[in-house]
Structure 1
């Protein structure tokens, strides 16, 4: 089904069944954003507005708008045995990575500590590269604890002596104390650290697909730019809205995006029209 000389792919399949069909060491980068095991179903309603004198919303300058509800996207985020579910898929990720390849595993505070132990066993502790903290400021405000406003991204490499990392390809950030550096450094900006301050996908922005858990392209772009080269193949087997594919296209990488949710595949088919859609 997959060939390094073939087209980019969007695959509708159970990843546990599809991944074994792919050859060893085929991908320079794997990014996965699996369900976080929150114990609840995730829902996201698409909403658009049109101007109407009888509208139910009032906008700028008193103009009235009518709310039109679109598709309701939902997926289950609860597993009776989460680690029995995830471990074989992480073993497949290790197999599929090239010798210079890198895995980015995106989780949150509920499971990341267990994942670190598991990946140490699968990859080896010397293959741990980073824990990236994605910090944002959006959502509910807790009053009886510190509000949780970050996700965790574990970064492991296949071979700690051979992995690809090109910091020159990564977008730069402003210095937090620009007065302490030279004008040349201020102009260029600094390489991001392992804490990434980046907003979520704007509810009204062009990037928005309406799919729950969609991640911003700017976040994934850093990973793809640093850990792959133009023409390399990258893989996401919990692809959701297809952010990895969208970023890979813009950066000249090849991609395979896999998801078993038919709504995710429909979103990706619209977002990635040049990809071949394969339905299992």
Structure 2
């Protein structure tokens, strides 16, 4: 049984643990917002275990997904399309099922990926949440780094947004920062001064290599990006969760905006960075590493 380290009236937490071990210790419906930024290519580098997928014509899979199809059908179709995907599914799917369980009825999931895996994850989330719970695909566009000369340079990430209850989710657009109009001459001076609400394309620079926000963690995401999500999809005092927490940007933004947070990562370097960044506002705890079966 997973140890219980968290209670709704407790402190903010930075947890050094395998998320698959820690997440079962958290209660159903505890979080208004979950943001996760998992490894983009985990399935491509893990040792692959051969499995046989059976298409179910009667819909007898373990869970019904979109168009009335079962998980077995979805897995089977993807397995035949891209044999390497079964590893990524096996890695990510149980964690996304946990995310669904942990979301409050009015809660929102933000899943941050890139072009290599986002189409697979969309199918996966449609099956877990239901297609009616898909809210947005946000494109985070930036302009930094190397540029390919033999194709269009890739300068964006994809963020899939799903809600637990499509008829009762929390979304406060009045709390979100506004942007300058791209054609300010076409709007009134009052509108120019106010700015416009963001669309599903977010232009935002990466973390500056020389800026005060920089922690040195390689996959750190900018606070401005997370601030927009937290502002729109949670209230002051709500609990938010990141179980691939990395440098702890969600925790830093939650602290700034008066939310309460749980940040989980299995990487000792990530926990060290988060402890330095968030330790004055969070308890830092560690779970024993689970026993691992030998790879055969």
How many angstroms apart in 2 are the aligned matches of 1:171 and 1:111? 29
How many angstroms apart in 1 are the aligned matches of 2:176 and 2:225? 11
Aligned to 1:37: 41
How many angstroms apart in 2 are the aligned matches of 1:79 and 1:244? 28
How many angstroms apart in 2 are the aligned matches of 1:195 and 1:141? 21
- SS of the residue aligned with 2:218? coil
Picking from 106, 113, 116, the partner of 1:110 is 116
Q: Please, what is the CA RMSD of the aligned residues?
A: 1.5
How many angstroms apart in 2 are the aligned matches of 1:123 and 1:133? 21
User: What pairs with 1:20-169 in structure 2 (closer than 5 Å)?
Assistant: 20-37=24-41, 81-169=87-175
- SS of the residue aligned with 1:172? coil
Picking from 240, 255, 258, the partner of 2:246 is 240
How many angstroms apart in 2 are the aligned matches of 1:80 and 1:213? 25
How many angstroms apart in 2 are the aligned matches of 1:123 and 1:169? 26
1:161-183 deviations in whole A, cap 9, x for unaligned? Answer: 11000001000000001111111
User: What pairs with 1:173-188 in structure 2 (closer than 5 Å)?
Assistant: 173-188=179-194
How many angstroms apart in 2 are the aligned matches of 1:22 and 1:200? 32
Tell me, yes or no, if the aligned pair for 1:37 and 1:79 is still in contact at 8 Å: no
Aligned to 2:73: none
Tell me, yes or no, if the aligned pair for 1:31 and 1:244 is still in contact at 8 Å: yes
How many angstroms apart in 2 are the aligned matches of 1:14 and 1:175? 44
How many angstroms apart in 1 are the aligned matches of 2:273 and 2:233? 26
- SS of the residue aligned with 2:111? strand
- SS of the residue aligned with 2:177? coil
User: More helix per residue: 1 or 2?
Assistant: 2
Tell me, yes or no, if the aligned pair for 1:233 and 1:253 is still in contact at 8 Å: yes
- Identify unmatched segments of 5+ residues in structure 2: 46-83, 288-296
C-alpha displacement at 1:204, in angstroms? 0.2
Tell me, yes or no, if the aligned pair for 1:28 and 1:228 is still in contact at 8 Å: yes
User: More strand per residue: 1 or 2?
Assistant: 1
- Identify unmatched segments of 5+ residues in structure 1: 41-77
1:8-63 deviations in whole A, cap 9, x for unaligned? Answer: 000000000000110000000000000010757xxxxxxxxxxxxxxxxxxxxxxx
How many angstroms apart in 1 are the aligned matches of 2:205 and 2:91? 30
Tell me, yes or no, if the aligned pair for 1:29 and 1:101 is still in contact at 8 Å: yes
Picking from 19, 26, 40, the partner of 1:15 is 19
Where has structure 1 moved over 6 Å in runs of 4 or more? Answer: none
1:254-273 deviations in whole A, cap 9, x for unaligned? Answer: 00000000000000000002
Picking from 190, 193, 216, the partner of 2:199 is 193
1:175-211 deviations in whole A, cap 9, x for unaligned? Answer: 0011111111100000000000000000000000000
Aligned CA distance change for structure 1 residues 275 and 79 (closer, same or farther; 3 Å): farther
How many angstroms apart in 2 are the aligned matches of 1:230 and 1:141? 41
How many angstroms apart in 2 are the aligned matches of 1:194 and 1:272? 30
Q: TM-score, normalised by structure 1?
A: 0.85
Aligned to 1:210: 216
